[in-house]
Amino acid sequence: MPPFRIRPALRMIAFAGNGVAADGRIIVRDCATQKGFHRHDTPLIHYLNDRLNISARLVACQFVGHRSEMGGNTLKLAETSGAETGTKATPKPDRRRAPETAARILDAAESLFSQRGFYGVSLRDIATEAGVQVALTHYHFGSKDDLFRAVIDRRADEHADGMTQTLAQAVMLDGSRADRRRAIIRAFITPIVDRSMRGGPGWKNYIRLMALVANLPQGEAFVSPFRQHFDDLIAAYVHALHALHPEMDEGDVHWCFFFFQAMTTHILVESGMLDRQSGGRFSSSDLDAMVDRLVDFVAAGFTGLGAEAD
């Protein structure tokens, strides 16, 4: 009797049990349907791999024409590590639960969130970009809010630590207060630009995403990871600038740094506005060209809000 071929719609197959025949073949018995299977029936193979922990391939596709000792009609399969008679195989690892699957989902989410923002991306979009089923995004991360948090968390400590180190180095410098003020401002922007320009596509997406998040209403629940990781860092920069300029009202130091942040987050999106407005003379993506100009501009702005000129 030739193998039975199933329709594509028959995706869900139920099994009552399985066993091993005397010749070493794996037998799956009591199929819930008598439509049968053919040797390329991947739902059957996936069921064996994922649910029964058997690494198998279909080698005999027709219903056996007799009642076996196990009862019911039987299908015979051989494990992939041996010949058709089958030898015991090492269980196949479940790649869906592997760390690289989670990393692929994070990379896809990071990329899409950086382009469209939180509300412009669905879990289905992320699954499609990652090349996985939507269910796997739930398995690894839960809700979209949880996945967004995981995207921010993944690089946050490394990013914040780097900016903390550059601040510590800046406050130890000697020189005029104007030079030290520029050093603190540069300590903030330089590691951000370095990661965006030379950290690879992942860091480019992460920096752009942080810029987008900084411009969202900060009361949104999904923004909380951003606040948790970076608010203390911002406070440390403001404190360092106020310690350098105690003659300034503390509120004005906050305003100065906020204006600096606003400029920075707008620039990091790399919107192309500079390209258009300059007639192509300058590029919004040339962040290195921006650093010195931005540092001098912001440093000078402090004198307009009460910082004494040296």
pLDDT value, residue 94: 53
Which of 60-74, 200-214, 266-280, 296-310 shows the lowest mean pLDDT across its residues? Answer: 60-74
Mean pLDDT over residues 214-234, rounded? Answer: 93
* Residues 127, 19 share a domain: no
Which of 64-68, 214-218, 260-264 shows the lowest mean pLDDT across its residues? Answer: 64-68
Does position 149 have pLDDT exceeding 60, yes or no? yes
- Segment 67-93, tens digit of pLDDT: 333 344 444 444 343 334 444 555 555
- Return the sign of the alpha-carbon dihedral for residues 115, 220, 144, 124: negative
pLDDT value, residue 133: 93
pLDDT band at 28 (very low <50, low <70, confident <90, very high): very low
Amino acid at 48: L
In a domain, 124, yes or no: yes
pLDDT band at 250 (very low <50, low <70, confident <90, very high): very high
Which of 52, 67, 92 delimits the end of a domain? 92
Total of domains in the chain: 3
Which of 57-66, 80-89, 136-145, 212-221 shows the lowest mean pLDDT across its residues? Answer: 57-66
Does position 292 have pLDDT exceeding 60, yes or no? yes
pLDDT value, residue 99: 77
* Residues 193, 82 share a domain: no
In a domain, 109, yes or no: yes
Which two three-digit tokens encode residue 134?
């939507």
* Separation between Cα atoms, residue 172 and residue 175, nearest integer Å: 10
* Residues 101, 87 share a domain: no
In a domain, 150, yes or no: no
Specify the higher pLDDT residue, 103 or 6: 103
Amino acid at 32: A
Mean pLDDT over residues 213-227, rounded? Answer: 92
* Separation between Cα atoms, residue 310 and residue 308, nearest integer Å: 6
pLDDT band at 308 (very low <50, low <70, confident <90, very high): confident
Would you say 108 and 132 are in contact if contact means Cβ atoms under 8 Å apart? no
* Separation between Cα atoms, residue 65 and residue 77, nearest integer Å: 16
Which of 108, 141, 174 delimits the end of a domain? 141
* Residues 286, 172 share a domain: yes
In a domain, 173, yes or no: yes
CA-based nearest residue to 271, from 292, 289, 287 = 287
* Residues 88, 208 share a domain: no
* Residues 62, 173 share a domain: no
pLDDT band at 302 (very low <50, low <70, confident <90, very high): very high
* Residues 208, 69 share a domain: no
In a domain, 10, yes or no: no
Helix 99-116 crosses helix 144-171 at what angle (to 10 degrees)?
80
In this prediction the pTM is 0.69
In a domain, 235, yes or no: yes
Does position 196 have pLDDT exceeding 70, yes or no? yes
What b-and-e string marks burial along 56-84, b requiring 16 or more CB atoms within 10 Å of the CB? bbbbbbebeeeeeeeeebbbbbbbeeeee
Domain membership of residue 233 as a residue range: 155-304
pLDDT value, residue 168: 97
What does pLDDT average to over the chain? 78
In a domain, 147, yes or no: no
* Residues 272, 184 share a domain: yes
Mean pLDDT over residues 156-173, rounded? Answer: 97
Which of 51, 69, 92 delimits the end of a domain? 92
pLDDT band at 55 (very low <50, low <70, confident <90, very high): very low
* Residues 159, 69 share a domain: no
* Separation between Cα atoms, residue 307 and residue 280, nearest integer Å: 36
pLDDT value, residue 96: 57
Does position 31 have pLDDT exceeding 70, yes or no? no
* Residues 159, 121 share a domain: no
pLDDT value, residue 310: 73
